[in-house]
Amino acid sequence: MPQKKGSGDAYQEPKKRPETIEDLGGVGPATAEKLRELGYHTIESLATATINELVPAGISEKQAAKIISQARESISIEFIHADELVKMRQNVARLTTGSKTIDELLGGGLETQTITEFYGQYGVGKSILCHQLCVNVQLPVDRGGLEGGALYIDTEQTFRPEWIVRISKHLGLDPDKVAQNIIYSEAYNSDHQILLLDKADQIIKENNIRLIIVDSLTAHFRSEYLGREMLAERQQKLNKHMHRLTRLARVFNTVAVVTNQVMARPDAFFTIAVEAAGGHIVAHTCLHPDTLVQLADGSIEKISRVHNPSKLMSVDLKQTLQTEGGRCEGVWKTELPEVLRINAGFEVRASPNHRFFKLNGLDVIEVHAKDLKVGDYLACIRRLDIEGTPQRILKYEQNKCTPIELSPNLSQMLGYLLGCGKRVGGDIVLFDKNLSVLNSYRRKISETFNLNCGISRRSGKYFLRIESGEATDLLKKLSCEWDQIIPKSPRECVASFIKGFADARGYVSKSLRLIHKEKNILEILQLLMLRFTVKSSIHRIKNMWSLHISEAMSLNNFIEKIGLTDEGKVRRLIERTKNIKVNSDVIPVRKEILEDLARYFGVTFHKLAKPVGNRLMERLQLAEYLRRVKSSPNWERAPREVVDNVMKLERLVESPLGWERVKSIVREPSDSPVYDISVSPHANFIANGLLVHNSHTRVFLRRTANSPIRIARLVSSPYLPEGERLFKITENGIEDVDEKEYSGRR
């Protein structure tokens, strides 16, 4: 081997990058041919494949894993791993639509590495916009282009070369050269449409394709898969098709555009009366209908009951990392063949493409459910600041002894009734083994209803009977409506309700457990406790469910802000809390990041409290770390980049966001329709305690009466606020329109 000058080490030639799939180890001519038959023509397509997708080529799982690993090593890593999304964002480019106003609406143009959907009724200009993009993508970067070609998959015979010629001439481009850079194919049916995209990777690579268009996405699927019995198969194929398009957009850093038809929504009163066809497979993100969503007024609703214009709790992930109000802009319902059941302290059932949030360095990034693995930490809500409002429980005052407004005493009685109460004829009976507990509730009943109730004893239990007709009628009414009333009530009423339930169903062992046979009751309690910074988890115990509070800080908060009537339980709980050494309120910031900052500011890192598992630090430890950093003499002269990192860390520490470790992920058949909601302005909402994302970028196009002017409305986006912009269609393509022109035509 030749020697490198000035060095005694042997010089080694750099390893040659594989150019074709045959260059990968273990891929011979026969295997390569089978892989191509499956649609894997390039290194990039293999890098984004899964093991199960390659096994049909007649290779073992071990060999498939090796091929994928080699392919990933040979291309840019930014396009592969979900935890590198921040680096991917640095490579994102934007393509102009030809309209400055629409570009402004979309944050500067259409992004690469993602799908943008344009939907609307016939004649609104979806296909003309696609023609415009085919020309624009060939413009130089300084004119808003990407200096590349376009791949156009036509499913409705809408492509017209005449439009390409007119738009090209208007932009000063050679129509013949522009046409040569547009790769066109007509899809004759849904299977052909899927096949075209499966075979597209080699074409994209060889022709420098920077724009992929499918016009329209759902036309063939809707005409071929008719009836409810074929819906699941249609949605499964459409999901795989969209997944493939997403892969191509990410691997080749291209813009992906789909157009979509619309269908009428007869149930729409406060929102757009049409919706995009294809269900929410097209928008990627769906949750089970039983998923609980936190509303801004304190209400906790199933996602299937949320509607426009419901106000929801959201989080400003761009700046403050604090909870803020959001507004539901739309609700979508569809059917999926399967969902993922994800347990991260909170449990949620989501589509594989639903997006959650995790930390990458000091930045909060998105991650698809299908890319999660056990051990990842997901963003959840640890603290909810909801004050609530007084709740009127009777329309009219019946007598002076019957309250018309919910009080803390009545809330506590209601909580106990839900846990250890029953109806006996027309009466209500509360029971407990502890006489002092029932005596406490007898006093509350006397104060609230001016009743003197008797207590009896049998079989080792005490029974408190409420016999008054008006009192029992009110308690029965509230026991049916508690999930609508309690969450909106003032904090003291919510705390009293939880206390009553804990008095009835609370057990102290190594921690505090609330046990009940109905899981949905415990799920609502789990969200209510977040208002007092009490974190819990729910587990199955034989034929019952247990809400488990085991973290030291959460137990202390429960004792101080909620409490228990049984003083013996309180004493035992305080003793148990003293023995808990580890607080699980960790923030998953890597130790290396903290050590780098510590060295710069001269902070002795090892003198801080020991990180959990020698890897992660708790919130209180990080707060002390920040105090030392900001009191360092180097703080005032620190460079901007270092200060920014410290401020990011401070926002994480002060944020109500918590971080829960994924304990299990189970793939299971979907047993019902699934839902998603579009939320503005922050594009996220709280679902079963976890922070989740709403849909991808969707733009609704509609026309004005007897006019070439169109309106583009941004319906949903991962990061952009809602809005509308005007544009017009002329013989030269897409152009801007000013308000005066629009006003003159109205």
Containing structural domain, residue 612: 586-655
Alpha helices in 530-583 (DSSP H): 552-561, 567-578
Whether 401 maps to a domain, the answer reads no
Q: How far is CA 192 from CA 188, 196, 197, 248, in A?
A: 6, 6, 9, 18
Tell me how far apart the alpha carbons of residues 563 and 578 are, in angstroms, rounded to a whole number: 17
Residue 434 buriedness (CB in 10 A; 0-12 / 13-18 / 19+): middle
C-beta separation of 26 from 66 below 8 A: yes
Closest by CA position to 686, among listed 346, 342, 334: 346
Could you tell me if 341 and 489 lie in one domain? no
Angle at Cα 398 formed by Cα 392 and Cα 399, nearest 5°?
110
Instruction: Tell me the sheet residues that pair with 455.
Output: 464
Q: Supply the CATH number for residue 144's domain.
A: 3.40.50.300
Could you tell me if 482 and 621 lie in one domain? no
Could you tell me if 312 and 457 lie in one domain? no
Q: Supply the CATH number for residue 337's domain.
A: 2.170.16.10
C-beta separation of 566 from 529 below 8 A: no
Which pTM does this prediction carry? Answer: 0.66
Instruction: Tell me the sheet residues that pair with 714.
Output: 699, 723
Could you tell me if 647 and 716 lie in one domain? no
- Give the pLDDT score at 355: 84
Domain boundary among 75, 94, 119: 75
Query: What is residue 279's DSSP assignment?
Result: G
Helix (H, G, I), strand (E, B) or coil at 186: strand
Whether 2 maps to a domain, the answer reads no
Q: Kindly write down the DSSP assignment for every residue of 480-510, as one continuous string.
A: HHHHHHGGGS-HHHHHHHHHHHHHHHEEESS
Could you tell me if 181 and 227 lie in one domain? yes
C-beta separation of 64 from 72 below 8 A: no
Could you tell me if 335 and 360 lie in one domain? yes
Angle at Cα 395 formed by Cα 393 and Cα 401, nearest 5°?
65
Q: How far is CA 676 from CA 13, 307, 333, 712, in A?
A: 53, 11, 7, 22
Whether 16 maps to a domain, the answer reads no
Whether 13 maps to a domain, the answer reads no
- Give the pLDDT score at 722: 62
Domain boundary among 550, 578, 606: 578
Could you tell me if 336 and 481 lie in one domain? no
* Beta pairing, strands 323-334 & 664-669: unpaired
CA atoms within 13 A on the CB side of 637: 3
C-beta separation of 255 from 95 below 8 A: yes
Could you tell me if 619 and 566 lie in one domain? no
Q: How far is CA 125 from CA 212, 348, 702, 710, 727, in A?
A: 18, 39, 9, 8, 10
First to last CA, the chain: 80
At a CB cut-off of 8 Å and minimum separation 6, what does 607 contact?
Answer: none
At a CB cut-off of 8 Å and minimum separation 6, what does 269 contact?
Answer: none
Could you tell me if 111 and 182 lie in one domain? yes
Whether 156 maps to a domain, the answer reads yes
Within 10 angstroms of residue 745's Cβ, the number of other Cβ atoms is 14
At a CB cut-off of 8 Å and minimum separation 6, what does 654 contact?
Answer: 321
Q: Which residues of the chain have pLDDT under 70?
A: 1-17, 48, 75-90, 227-229, 231-232, 234-236, 262-285, 330, 332, 396-400, 581-583, 605-615, 694-696, 705-706, 715-722, 739-746
Could you tell me if 538 and 685 lie in one domain? no
Alpha carbon 135 to its chain centroid, in Å, reads 35
Tell me how far apart the alpha carbons of residues 376 and 563 are, in angstroms, rounded to a whole number: 33
Q: Supply the CATH number for residue 538's domain.
A: 3.10.28.10
Q: For residues 133-154, b (16+ Cβ closer than 10 Å) or e, as one string?
A: bbbbbbbeeeebbbebbbbbbb
Q: Supply the CATH number for residue 42's domain.
A: 1.10.150.20
Alpha carbon 378 to its chain centroid, in Å, reads 10
Tell me how far apart the alpha carbons of residues 647 and 523 are, in angstroms, rounded to a whole number: 34
Whether 418 maps to a domain, the answer reads yes
Could you tell me if 223 and 140 lie in one domain? yes
Could you tell me if 648 and 665 lie in one domain? no
Whether 444 maps to a domain, the answer reads yes
Q: How many domains is the chain partitioned into structurally?
A: 5
- Can you point out the beta strands (E) in 268-334? 274-276, 292-294, 300-302, 311-315, 323-334
Whether 465 maps to a domain, the answer reads yes
Tokens of 177: 């050269």
Domain boundary among 31, 47, 75: 75
Q: For the chain, what percentages of helix, strand and coil (3-state, to nearest 5) are there?
A: 40, 25, 35
Helix (H, G, I), strand (E, B) or coil at 64: helix
